[in-house]
Amino acid sequence: MTRVEPAATAVKHPLEPLTAAEITAAVDVLRAERGLTASTRFVSIALREPAKEAIRDGEGAAVDREAFVIALNLDDGLTYEGAVSLTDRAVRSWEAVPGVQAQVTMDEFFACEEIVKNDPGYREALAARGITDTDTLMVDPWSAGNYGDEVEGRLLRALSWVRLDGPDDNGYAHPVENLIAYVDLHARRVAKIEDHGVVPVPRAPGNYTPDAAAPLRHDLRPLEITQPEGTSITVDGHEVGWQKWRLRVGFTPREGLVLHTVSYQDRSVLHRASLAEMVVPYGDPAPTHSRKNAFDAGEYNIGALANSLELGCDCLGEIHYFDAVLADCDGEPVTLRNAVCLHEEDYGLLWKHFDFRTEKAETRRSRRLVISFVATVGNYEYGFYWYLYQDGTIQCEVKLTGIMSTGAVAPGQRPSHGQLLTSEGLYAPIHQHFLNFRLDFDVDGPHNSVQEVHTEADPPGPGNPLGNAFRSRATVLARESQAQQVIDPLSARTWKVINPSVRNAVGEPVGYRLVPGANVLPFAAGDASVSRRAAFATKHLWVTPYRQAERHPAGDYPNQHAGGAGLPEWTRADRPIEDTDVVVWYTLGSHHSPRLEDWPVMPVQYAGFTLAPDGFFDHSPALDVPPPSGDGHCTP
């Protein structure tokens, strides 16, 4: 094949996300070579990241630029995936993937709503509930899951709410309980309606706009963040520098924000870190809610649902925004403005000591780099925040907000598996949010091991005459089966990723410690459908040897999948994970037993974990942070 001028690939680094021109080129090449028609609907088009070695070999190396494409063919109903070389303008692969359902697209969100609103049977069931104006209906496209009793097709399980008071009314205050429509997106019809009986639609408003919340408190004075000399951040394309940190910002439709090649003083820490999957299982056995368990990454492409962030609202101060370039269903590039927010924040105290004899104090203020995005998945918002600190710490924080998915019981009744929100019967079912983060560590290089570290008390005896003794114990996790672990706060359990070949000043391997925060396990039964499909959530820690293809802990296509794919499948081989290129998968569970205070829009609930250097440095790396400005010291 003749090499064509690589016009569309004038990018600086192999990890730069696809440009709009590259998305267009990928679609043009696919259409031309494979004769695709308008029946091919594009689900996602993203950079096919080059092999790790190619990235490590550095910039400027000749790396083939490739687009990874997932599409739906409306004619044969099949999911297709393939790769297009943008360097050679050639299709590298294009194949149907039998037996899977691709992620739900934004087009399908809207199509589902229209199909349901126009279905005579559904309208009849609505009329029985006193709803005759379907324009007021909000139809949420819940994924159908896999229970073995579904009708055939590319399914969504549609649930409805009503806007009783105009187009801006919060419809989640008015759930249509017990009415479920299975929509077949390929046949474009309602395949099945379940009506489990009329429950009156709660009518009390649940609005949250300023006019609804009035009178607003009036005692807030301006708080302004100013950086008159600009920020301490450098940005070149998607490469970010901040003090001793270097990283690259990436963004995929499926994961949203991705951190690549995170290093401190040119020492690598993480090769790649991202949200890899999530699932939100509901604990309510009532028919409307018992199958609610959305996989927001693998079923809905949470990155494609990212918000365009606004200065002064989502982000405060001197902000650098990254746009995300995605593809719509026609394969047209779509630029999502301000999808990722990058800024720095004052974070209070970094360290301090006051010498009471000399009365001299040394105080340093902490500053952190914040890289974030926010996605709206139907009723809920998820904010994903990565923080880098001056002491080498990396923190991941998820901010859960938005509106709870609601249901209704008859007035005067109480729900058995949720919190009553109004006296009319509006309630929020109990549920959990499980987020799995894929952390491809490269602690001072790719060859790492993982230790379980906990603290234990010494038994009483001659070596412990006062009974005060306790010590930290570390055990190397040799195989995948050993690395399937859960948190143990009472033994102060952490996990430590070490590089056995690189030693610190005291002769110990350098490492980074994974410190869990609050966490929880699923309450769903082991043989429940969601437990099979989201097996990743049954353990907080998994460790696998790096494989380029192993990216999605619930499998590549969890939508309508029976389960067992991803982590449970890969780790069945029980591969060795010692002194090799390891990938750590951390499951973060946020338990949500709803409160009245979560209604009508939920104040942020936080969940997260921390990666802290542990013998990575020979002493505090934050010593060289200068004293606060002014005359140099804070001592009066």
Using Cβ positions, the residue closest to Ni ion within the complex turns out to be 592
Sorted by sequence, the CB contacts under 8 Å of residue 191 that are 6+ apart come out as 151, 152, 153, 155, 182, 183, 184
CB of 364 or CB of 592, closer to Ni ion: 592
**Terminal-to-terminal C-alpha distance of the chain:** 74
Q: For residue 226, give Cα distances in angstroms to 222, 308, 346, 369, 428.
A: 12, 23, 11, 16, 41
3-state secondary structure (DSSP) of residue 242: strand
- Mark the segment that binds Ni ion (CB under 5 A) among 56-64, 264-272, 460-468, 592-600: 592-600
Could you tell me which of 268, 325, 414, 334 has the C-alpha nearest to residue 107? Answer: 334
* Alpha-carbon gap, residue 526 to 553, rounded angstroms: 17
Strands (E) located in 109-215: 137-143, 155-162, 175-184, 189-195
Q: Does 592 bind Ni ion (CB under 5 A)?
A: yes
3-state secondary structure (DSSP) of residue 116: helix
Question: Are the CB atoms for 182 and 415 separated by under 8 Å?
Answer: no
Q: How far is the CB of 51 from Ni ion (least distance, A)?
A: 38
Residue with tokens 């649930």: 159
Residues 435-464 binding Ni ion (CB under 5 A) are none
Q: How far is the CB of 210 from Ni ion (least distance, A)?
A: 25
CB of 367 or CB of 592, closer to Ni ion: 592
* Alpha-carbon gap, residue 259 to 247, rounded angstroms: 7
- Mark the segment that binds Ni ion (CB under 5 A) among 437-445, 526-534, 565-573, 584-592: 584-592
Structure tokens at 257: 């924000």
Sorted by sequence, the CB contacts under 8 Å of residue 28 that are 6+ apart come out as none
Could you tell me which of 190, 193, 194 has the C-alpha nearest to residue 119? Answer: 190
The strand pair at 426-429 and 418-420 is best described as antiparallel
Burial (Cβ within 10 Å: 0-12, 13-18, ≥19) of residue 135? exposed
- Mark the segment that binds Ni ion (CB under 5 A) among 61-69, 285-293, 418-426, 587-595: 587-595
Q: How far is the CB of 181 from Ni ion (least distance, A)?
A: 24
Q: How far is the CB of 594 from Ni ion (least distance, A)?
A: 7
- Mark the segment that binds Ni ion (CB under 5 A) among 60-68, 137-145, 528-536, 589-597: 589-597
Strands (E) located in 12-166: 40-47, 66-73, 79-85, 90-97, 137-143, 155-162
Could you tell me which of 58, 558, 41 has the C-alpha nearest to residue 297? Answer: 558
* Alpha-carbon gap, residue 264 to 239, rounded angstroms: 14
CB of 23 or CB of 435, closer to Ni ion: 435
Sorted by sequence, the CB contacts under 8 Å of residue 158 that are 6+ apart come out as 112, 113, 116, 139, 140, 141, 142, 180, 181, 182, 183
CB of 258 or CB of 278, closer to Ni ion: 278
CB of 119 or CB of 381, closer to Ni ion: 381
Q: What is the DSSP string of 563-617?
A: S--SHHHHGGG--B-TTB-EEEEEEEEEEE---GGG-SSEEEEEEEEEEEESSSS
> Which among 380, 382, 387, 557 is annotated as catalytic?
380
* Alpha-carbon gap, residue 344 to 110, rounded angstroms: 38
CB of 561 or CB of 592, closer to Ni ion: 592
How many residues line the site for Ni ion (CB under 5 A)? 1
Active site residue 300: no
CB of 143 or CB of 494, closer to Ni ion: 143
Question: Are the CB atoms for 241 and 234 separated by under 8 Å?
Answer: yes
Structure tokens at 610: 């921390």
CB of 129 or CB of 292, closer to Ni ion: 292
- Mark the segment that binds Ni ion (CB under 5 A) among 224-232, 316-324, 591-599, 628-636: 591-599
Q: How far is the CB of 433 from Ni ion (least distance, A)?
A: 6
> Which among 88, 140, 284, 296 is annotated as catalytic?
296
Q: How far is the CB of 93 from Ni ion (least distance, A)?
A: 39
Residues 158-177 binding Ni ion (CB under 5 A) are none
CB of 163 or CB of 433, closer to Ni ion: 433
Active site residue 264: no
User: Binding residues for Ni ion, per CB under 5 A?
Assistant: 592
Active site residues: 296, 380
